[in-house]
């Protein structure tokens, strides 16, 4: 009952479509209520995004639509990263999505406030992520070449 409350009734969707999903170019109808029928054609399915979502392009009653769906099979393939703790000054998160170009510190290294920890690249611009506190690098969660999202934990610095 909780599923139905959150997502609505699933009875209008044909069983095969519910279990396997539609193919590109496939047309189907869904009766959303008595006398209201949606004619849907799947036009394209986008790449798996880092958050486990895919953008699906379809035509619904002749109008182009784009919707994001959670790909349950893709979620297993997507590496989820721990997020930085905003309440902990030494928990250093990514300020934006991008690629890790360089890790400038090693675990156990002493750092000063403002020392560079990680270099990120986004849209051909490099950004130095610096230490917000004086302390010791306790944990590094990224390495060169990895793709990260905004808020992902990069480095943990234990304040001293």
User: Is residue 41 domain-shared with residue 95, that is, in the same domain?
Assistant: no
pLDDT, tens digit, 9 for 90 and up, residues 9-40: 666 677 888 788 888 999 998 888 888 989 99
> Residue 8 sits in a domain of what CATH number?
3.10.600.10
Domain extent, residue 144, equals 91-159
Q: Is the domain of 40 the same as that of 101?
A: no
State residue 33's pLDDT score.
81
48 and 108 in a common domain: no
Contact 132, 90 (CB under 8 A): yes
Helix intervals (H) in 8-137: 15-20, 72-75
Is 58 found in the same domain as 20? yes
- Give residue 22's pLDDT: 87
Overall domain count for the chain: 2
Q: In what order do the strands lie in the sheet with 116-122?
A: 125-130, 116-122, 98-103, 147-148
Could you tell me if 149 and 97 are in contact, meaning their C-beta atoms sit under 8 angstroms apart? yes
Q: Which pLDDT score, from 0 to 100, does residue 56 have?
A: 92
pLDDT in tens, 106-116: 999 999 999 99
**How far, in Å, CA of 152 to CA of 50, rounded?**
12
Tell me how far CA of residue 160 lies from CA of 26, 111, 112, in angstroms.
61, 10, 10
| Predicted local confidence at residue 81, as pLDDT | 83
Joined tokens for residue 151: 């808020």
CB 113 within 8 A of CB 90: no
Question: pLDDT per residue over 34-85, tens digit each?
Answer: 889 899 999 998 888 877 788 999 999 999 999 998 887 765 555 578 999 9
Q: Can you tell me the mean pLDDT for 150-159?
A: 95
Rg (CA), the chain: 23
């Amino acid at each position: 009952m909780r599923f139905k409350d959150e997502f609505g009734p699933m009875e209008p969707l044909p069983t095969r479509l519910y279990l396997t999903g539609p193919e590109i170019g496939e047309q189907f109808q869904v009766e959303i209520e008595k006398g209201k029928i949606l004619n849907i054609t799947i036009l394209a399915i986008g790449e798996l995004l880092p958050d486990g979502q895919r953008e699906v392009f379809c035509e619904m009653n002749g109008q182009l639509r784009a919707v994001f769906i959670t790909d349950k099979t893709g979620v297993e393939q997507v590496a989820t990263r721990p997020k930085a703790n905003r309440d902990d000054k030494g928990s250093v998160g990514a300020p934006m999505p991008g690629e890790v170009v360089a890790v400038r510190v090693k675990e156990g290294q002493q750092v000063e406030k403002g020392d560079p920890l990680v270099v990120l690249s986004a849209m051909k611009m490099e950004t130095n992520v610096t230490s917000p506190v004086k302390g010791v690098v306790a944990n590094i969660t990224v390495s060169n070449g990895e793709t990260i999202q905004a808020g992902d934990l990069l480095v943990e610095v234990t304040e001293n």
